[in-house]
Structure 1
C-alpha cells in the first residue's frame, strides 16, 4: 500500500506487524489504549482472512517468521540485520546468541532499555533527531554500538517530551543488569548478554535460515 514505506522503512500500521507475528513486538506504549486494543486482536492475522486463523507453516516458513519477528522487534532493515548476523558469525561461540547481543548493543535499544523511551521506535527518533549524547558527544546513529563504561544522556528538550517525563517519574524503573541509571543519566556497566533478553526469541531458527 502507498505510504507504508519511507526510505525502505515500514511506516504503516504497527498493529499489523505484531498480529502477523502473533506477539507483542513492543511497538506500542504499554498501558496506552492502542496497546490494549492490540492485545485484544493479537491472535488474529491481519487481512480479511485473518479471522480464519494461522495455517500450518513449513520449516522454512517458521525460520523466516522468526527472522522477521526479531527484525521488527529491533526495528532493523534486512541489509542491516544480515550485516549484524555476518558480524556475529565471525565471533567464537554461539552465533545466534552473539546476534542477539549485538542487537541489544544498539544505541536506540539502549535508550529503550534505560526506560527513557516507551518504544524502540521513539528511541530511534530521539537518536536520529540528535537528542542523545554518548560520553558528552552527540550521536545520531541508532545502530551505534554502545561500549562498557559509556555514559548516555539526553538533551534538556528531549527530557521535556511528555512520554519521556512520564517515564522519568517512575519510582523504580525495571532496568537490565547491564545498565545503571540515575535520573536521565545512564552508564553501561557491562555489555548485554543473551540471558538479559526476556523477549521470546529463538535465535537458532535465524541461524538455520541464513545457513540454508
Structure 2
C-alpha cells in the first residue's frame, strides 16, 4: 500500500496546526508551525475561506494524518463505525485509538505514531504472547501488549524505564518495569485528547 514519504512538517503546515508527527521535534523551536510558516505551495500565503465541503475534507485529512492511515483504511473504519451501536463519529475514533500502533504510542513506548508503526512492523511487540507485526491490528479489552523478550535488551527500550514520557490514559494499564501494558477498557470520547470534530467526517462520508 502506498504511503506518504515526504516531509511531514508540510502536513502540519497544510492543516495550519501541530499534528505532532515528528515526536520530540514538535515540542522544540524547530517546529514549522511554531515558526509561523504558512501552508505549502505557491498559494500557501493566500488562505481562502473554505466551503462547507472544504471544512469537512480538511477535518478528515487531519484525522488521517494524526493516525497515519490511507483513505481506503479510513473508509473501511467509517463503514465499521457506522454499523456499530452508538454514535458513529465516536465509534470511528474508538477504532482508530485501538489500532496497535496507536496503543504502543499511548503506552509511551514510541515518541510518535510513525515510530510506533515502524517498531510494530519490525516485530518488537507481542499481543497476548504472540508476535504481531501489523500496525492496523485492532486490540481488544483484556489484550496484553508487551515488548518482545529479545527486544527488551535494545537500548531504545532499556532507556524507556528511566525516561518514560507516555501519555497517561485511563483505558491502558502500564507495567513499565516489564515493558508491557493491558487494555482495561475501551477508550471513550473524553479519553481522546486530539482537537477533532468527528461529526464533520460523518457528514462528509454520509453524502
Q: Is the shorter-chain TM-score for this pair beyond 0.5, marking a shared fold?
A: yes
Give the CA deviation at 1:210: 0.6
For the 8 Å contact 2:18–2:26, the answer to whether it is kept is: no
Gaps of 5+ in 1: 1-6
CA RMSD of aligned residues (A): 2.0
1:144 aligns with 2:137: yes
The correspondence of residues 53-202 of structure 1 with structure 2, limited to 5 A, is 53-155=46-148, 156-157=150-151, 160-162=154-156, 164-170=157-163, 173-183=166-176, 184-202=179-197
Distance 2:73 2:164 in 1: 36
Please give the TM-score of this superposition, normalised by the length of structure 1.
Answer: 0.88
Distance 2:121 2:102 in 1: 13
State the Cα deviation string for residues 91-131 of structure 1 (Å, max 9, x = none). 12210010000100100000000000001001111111111
Aligned partner of 1:209 in structure 2 is: 204
- The SS at the match of 1:47 is coil
State the Cα deviation string for residues 144-176 of structure 1 (Å, max 9, x = none). 1111111111134366243x4444323674310
Distance 1:154 1:35 in 2: 32
1:49 aligns with 2:43: yes
> Structure 1 residues 64 and 171, CA, compared in 2 at 3 Å: closer, same or farther?
closer
> Structure 1 residues 42 and 77, CA, compared in 2 at 3 Å: closer, same or farther?
farther
For the 8 Å contact 1:22–1:42, the answer to whether it is kept is: no
Give the CA deviation at 1:36: 3.1
Distance 1:29 1:102 in 2: 22
Please give the TM-score of this superposition, normalised by the length of structure 2.
Answer: 0.90
- Picking from 7, 10, 13, the partner of 1:13 is 7
1:28 aligns with 2:22: yes
Distance 1:144 1:17 in 2: 25
Give the CA deviation at 1:40: 2.2
For the 8 Å contact 1:19–1:45, the answer to whether it is kept is: yes
Return 151-160 or 56-65, whichever deviates more: 151-160
